[in-house]
């Protein structure tokens, strides 16, 4: 393909919707010459008109010119609609690229798609990276958390650029090579799963506080205060701001006029689906996905409102300060459990796929830039860096935190349930803690039932072997091996 463009750009961005445009501007703000291309040229023109003066951009109307405008090895970041958009873009790009060039998918791809694409591009001598980018529009522009997965060899050429434009925590980039092929997108997916859980817990805290009679401004103030302590996080911070917002039309708190049906784009659902396949219990994340689901079931909720009995949801009348502290403790507990479950899922997938993901490094790059950034993540990083933990819940400082919050969290969760205020995320977290710490689980009874109706057999605690009881006969026990 002939082109008049000179190869002057150090990095290229394909797809100039808001995330792509902001990433391109972020590279330019860091002094890079950035090639930009969008399928519909009007979008490129629009971006150049609005931001062309901010740095050094090389716009192209044709993909071939865009490719020719990049120095080698070419470094191309694709920021198009996930799925068909990504495949279509990759297909047209590979025709124009040469061995050693680097293609990065910065969208929210399913990690198995990333594995497939990585293998296909590797076969053509190209380096393919599936890169999770978190932080929303603002993060893309000013420093996102970046989770790159792909070949270690290619990382040398693209990693320093990504680290450069990422958020920094105490000077450390919130970007590190996660592992090969789908590892980066997997970690981004779990990040989103934890984000779902975190948002659900905050929503439950808000709901309980309202049932206790706090006004919206009082709840906003409570979150603001929590944000100065161990719960300090981006999501708590924005919660205060959302609660502060007054609706211009009605003069009410905006939260009271927003429809109570939550949307979702699917990464929370993927997290739960994959966790089920890998056999990793992530009940807090599952409850958060289901809670969004229930919120959108208008017919189910109408029938429930009409027919399902229960207490009038009020927690008013008790010791208010104690209740608020109980909510804080339940929130802390639930948050820690969601991190523990998400990190377990990453560790299990890493073993299964030979990714060799360093959990401490994952916590490192989540400390700033991303939606789940939180003070707690520095502690989690330090705990995983110090020890190869079987679960976050075994980390000394987390154990101490659970000891401190446990009684208050339990009291609060019990009171909420008694009053009919739904706290599925909090309750799931507590159930998980009680399951993992139990000496004996009632799974023994389930094994007995399975053996009864399906001869599924069982093991005994006092001897080796597989056993079956003749339930429909004389009820004697046989050893099968
Ligand atoms: P947003 O929701 O912010 O618009 P998006 O839908 O995730 O973002 O991504 C839109 C981007 O993907 C656009 O750059 C779009 O190109 P157009 O401006 O031409 O629509 C790009 N995109 C979507 N499908 C594509 C495809 N099949 N080939 C190339 N680019 C595609």
Cβ pair 127, 100 in contact under 8 A = yes
Q: What is the pLDDT of residue 370?
A: 96
Q: At residue 2, does pLDDT exceed 90?
A: no
| Atom 25, ligand 1: residue with shortest CA distance | 85
Mean pLDDT of 208-232: 97
pLDDT in tens, 287-317: 999 999 999 999 999 999 999 999 999 999 9
Q: What is the pLDDT of residue 87?
A: 97
Atom of ligand 1 nearest to the CA of 42: 18
Instruction: Provide the mean pLDDT of the chain.
Output: 97
Mean pLDDT of 64-75: 98
pLDDT in tens, 174-188: 999 999 999 999 999
Q: At residue 423, does pLDDT exceed 90?
A: yes
Atom of ligand 1 nearest to the CA of 15: 14
Q: How confident is the model at residue 1 (pLDDT cuts 50, 70, 90)?
A: very low
| Atom 9, ligand 1: residue with shortest CA distance | 81
pLDDT in tens, 437-455: 999 999 999 999 999 999 9
| This prediction's pTM | 0.96
Q: How confident is the model at residue 387 (pLDDT cuts 50, 70, 90)?
A: very high
Q: What's the 19 CA to ligand 1 centre distance in angstroms? A: 11
Q: What's the 321 CA to ligand 1 centre distance in angstroms? A: 50
Atom of ligand 1 nearest to the CA of 82: 7
| Atom 7, ligand 1: residue with shortest CA distance | 81
pLDDT in tens, 325-372: 999 999 999 999 999 999 999 999 999 999 999 999 999 999 999 999
Q: What's the 58 CA to ligand 1 centre distance in angstroms? A: 19
Catalytic residues: 188, 195
Q: For a pocket test of ligand 1, which of 81, 83, 105, 108 has the largest count of ligand atoms closer than 8 A to its C-beta?
A: 81
pLDDT in tens, 269-286: 999 999 999 999 999 999
Mean pLDDT of 10-35: 98
């Amino acid at each position: 393909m002939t082109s008049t463009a000179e190869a002057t750009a150090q990095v290229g961005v394909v797809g100039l919707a808001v995330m792509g445009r902001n990433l391109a501007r972020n590279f330019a703000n860091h002094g890079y010459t950035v090639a930009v291309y969008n399928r519909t040229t009007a979008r490129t023109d629009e971006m150049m008109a609005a931001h062309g003066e901010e740095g050094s951009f090389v716009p192209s109307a044709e993909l071939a010119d865009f490719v020719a405008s990049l120095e080698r090895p070419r470094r191309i970041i694709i920021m198009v609609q996930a799925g068909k958009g990504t495949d279509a873009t990759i297909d047209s790009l590979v025709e124009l690229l040469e061995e050693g060039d680097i293609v990065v998918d910065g969208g929210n791809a399913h990690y198995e798609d990333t594995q497939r694409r990585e293998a296909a591009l590797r076969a053509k001598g190209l380096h393919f990276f599936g890169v999770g980018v978190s932080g929303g529009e603002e993060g893309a522009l000013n420093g996102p958390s970046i989770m790159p997965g792909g070949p270690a060899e290619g990382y040398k050429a693209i990693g320093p650029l990504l680290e450069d434009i990422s958020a920094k925590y105490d000077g450390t980039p919130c970007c590190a090579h996660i592992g090969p092929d789908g590892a980066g997108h997997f970690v981004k997916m779990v990040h989103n799963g934890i984000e779902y859980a975190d948002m659900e817990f905050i929503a439950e805290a808000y709901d309980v506080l309202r049932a206790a009679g706090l006004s919206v401004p009082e709840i906003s103030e409570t979150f603001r205060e929590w944000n100065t302590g161990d719960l300090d996080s981006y999501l708590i911070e924005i919660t205060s701001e959302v609660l502060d917002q007054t609706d211009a039309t009605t003069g009410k708190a905006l939260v009271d006029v927003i429809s109570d049906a939550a949307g979702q784009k699917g990464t929370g659902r993927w997290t739960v689906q994959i966790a089920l396949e890998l056999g990793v219990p992530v009940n807090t994340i599952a409850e958060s996905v289901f809670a969004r689901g229930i919120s959108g079931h208008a017919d189910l909720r109408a029938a429930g409102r009409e027919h399902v009995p229960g207490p009038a949801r009020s927690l008013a009348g008790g010791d208010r300060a104690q209740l608020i502290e109980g909510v804080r403790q339940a929130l802390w507990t639930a948050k820690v459990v969601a991190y523990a479950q998400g990190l377990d899922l990453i560790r299990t997938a890493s073993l299964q796929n030979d990714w060799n993901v360093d959990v401490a490094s994952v916590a490192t790059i989540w400390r700033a830039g991303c939606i789940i950034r939180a003070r707690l993540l520095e502690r989690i990083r330090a705990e995983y860096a110090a020890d190869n933990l079987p679960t976050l819940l075994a980390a000394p400082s987390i154990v101490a935190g659970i000891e401190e919050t446990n009684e208050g969290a339990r009291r609060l969760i019990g009171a909420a349930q008694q009053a009919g205020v739904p706290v599925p995320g909090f309750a799931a977290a507590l159930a998980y803690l009680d399951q993992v710490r139990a000496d004996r689980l009632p799974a023994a009874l389930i094994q007995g039932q399975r053996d009864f109706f399906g001869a599924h057999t069982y093991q005994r605690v006092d001897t080796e072997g597989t056993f079956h009881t003749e339930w429909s006969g004389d009820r004697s026990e046989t050893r099968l091996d």
